Amino acid sequence: MNLVIGYGAVAAFFVALIAFLERSRRAGQDITEYAVAGRSFGSWYQTMSFLNTWLPGTVFITFAGLAASAGIIGFYWVPYSLLTLVLMHLMARTVHDWGRRWNLRTQADLLGMRYGSRPVRVVAALIGVVASFPWIVLGMQSLGLVFSYLSFGRVSPQAAIVIGIGFLLLRQIWTVRLGMRGIVVSDVFQGLVAYGLGGLLILGLIADLLVGGHDLAALPAAYFTLPGPGSPEGALYLMSLILTGALGSWCWPDMFVRFFTARDAETVRRSAVQAAPWLFLFSVALTLLALLAGSVPGVAEAPSEVFFLLAERGGPFVLALAGVVVLAATMGNVDANFQALGVQVSQNLLPVRDGDSDAQTRAAKRSVGVLTVLAALTAAATLHTGAGLVSLAILSYQAICQLAPALYLGMAWRRGNATGAVAGMVAGSVTAALLQLAHPVSVPWLAGLTSGVAGLAVNTAVYVLAALLLPRSAEEQARVGNLFARPRSLGSQAPEPTNA
């Protein structure tokens, strides 16, 4: 009976989601409709789309597990998440206006246009795809935990991972068919389940812990210390985590495309303001729940399973709800990654003729489908090597941050050039990779800086030196000046707004 409750809850959620998605279907997709949903969504859709992409299922597993096992350092993702929204508000005008003005659809499109360079587009696209792929595979594998717990011991962990992969593979049928409009619409449904019902569930579990005597006083003193001078991690370790988290936020292709799906820049800014309190309350509540659970028997042995262990105490229906919550969060992130990377590959890495919208749409759909199959095969082939994939994913985060100088400085400073952008991205990525392999946690002889921050320093230095030392032609100065000149008629170029 418990198996029916667990898997039945997943089936009910999936049927409701597909019914919700089919209502959003539109005929006659061109590449702009498929890639960025016609730049038509309002702030509510943008807010839920941001949340369901930024908060993947791993926040209930890896992030909660860190707080359950190590204490208050688990809160480090709260400040960098809020800084992400500050960057979103600051970047909205430039990114959205450039996207609409030049019909940009991906992050690599924007970088290639800013520097007038095909190599910049290709390097940025490759970094985005290679860095994001391990996280898609981990997302598929993480669903194994959901289907394992919801089987109530009837399904082995390995079989549960296979079921999770199959479930996400089935879901991608609608990702390929409906494109970005389907992603954004599904984000509303999935977000309400993951962070609405999930938030209420978290509050209930916190109350249960407090009533049971599992308060902060029951935790060891080590839970309330942070890395600092003299610590094994180094004095600058915590700062590095927050810095790479914030700067890397808009370097992920699936995050960046959120700028292009809004109807205007003010919509993006409003969604940043709307998301801030929701994100703050949810992230603090989830981390506090995991922290309080540090004194619960069994959590220390399996901290990454803390959310399920606590829900299991409430019986099969509470556990089923917890499973659906994690499922909804995971699907939002994985779906967005597949869609963004598929379009990025077709737009920037495949020889598809510009201007042929039908061919571009077909190429994007094929790319999403191929990436889905590759991710499923990789996830199935690495069932027993999860630790290696986690290490690769950590390395990929240090790599994705290397887009930051070319991206942020490129939008704020006219002097940057294509040579500096490419050389900086390559030098920063190589530096980060070598240091990460030698020092997986932090670099001791850099006072605890992570490999990503060290790579960013090299990257930025190369970018700035190239900007200051290399000459700029009059033609290049005029081209960049035209980019930064905001036309008065920009608003009149917008398509007719819709609410999906």
pLDDT tens digits, 164-198:
888 888 888 888 888 888 899 999 999 999 999 99
**Residue 304: pLDDT band by 50, 70, 90 thresholds?**
confident
- Give the pLDDT mean for 146-152: 91
- Is the confidence at residue 158, as pLDDT, over 90? no
User: In whole angstroms, what is the distance from residue 205 CA to residue 458 CA?
Assistant: 45
Q: Which two tokens stand for residue 354?
A: 């510009």
Q: Comparing 355 with 141, which gets the higher pLDDT?
A: 141
Our separate counts of H helices and E strands in the chain read: 21, 0
In angstroms, the Cα distances linking 18 to 169, 190, 402, 459, 473 are 14, 11, 37, 44, 54
**Residue 393: pLDDT band by 50, 70, 90 thresholds?**
low
Q: What pLDDT is stored for residue 383 in this prediction?
A: 66
pTM for the whole structure: 0.90
Q: Comparing 452 with 360, which gets the higher pLDDT?
A: 452
User: In whole angstroms, what is the distance from residue 120 CA to residue 108 CA?
Assistant: 8
Mean pLDDT of the chain: 88
Burial group, residue 380, by CB count within 10 angstroms (0-12, 13-18, 19+): middle
3-state SS, residue 262? strand
User: In whole angstroms, what is the distance from residue 120 CA to residue 117 CA?
Assistant: 5
**Residue 90: pLDDT band by 50, 70, 90 thresholds?**
very high
Q: What pLDDT is stored for residue 291 in this prediction?
A: 96
Q: Which two tokens stand for residue 271?
A: 């969604």
Strands annotated E in 103-160: none
Least confident of 25-39, 71-85, 236-250, 378-392: 378-392
- Give the pLDDT mean for 419-444: 93
Q: What pLDDT is stored for residue 437 in this prediction?
A: 87
Give the chain's domains with CATH numbers. 2-389 (1.20.1730.10)
- Is the confidence at residue 493, as pLDDT, over 80? no
The candidate with the shortest Cα–Cα distance to 312, out of 150, 204, 124, 180, is 150
Q: What pLDDT is stored for residue 77 in this prediction?
A: 93
Is the separation of the CB atoms in 32 and 254 below 8 Å? no
**Residue 35: pLDDT band by 50, 70, 90 thresholds?**
confident
- Give the pLDDT mean for 260-279: 95
3-state SS, residue 41? strand
Q: Comparing 2 with 352, which gets the higher pLDDT?
A: 2
Is the separation of the CB atoms in 316 and 2 below 8 Å? yes
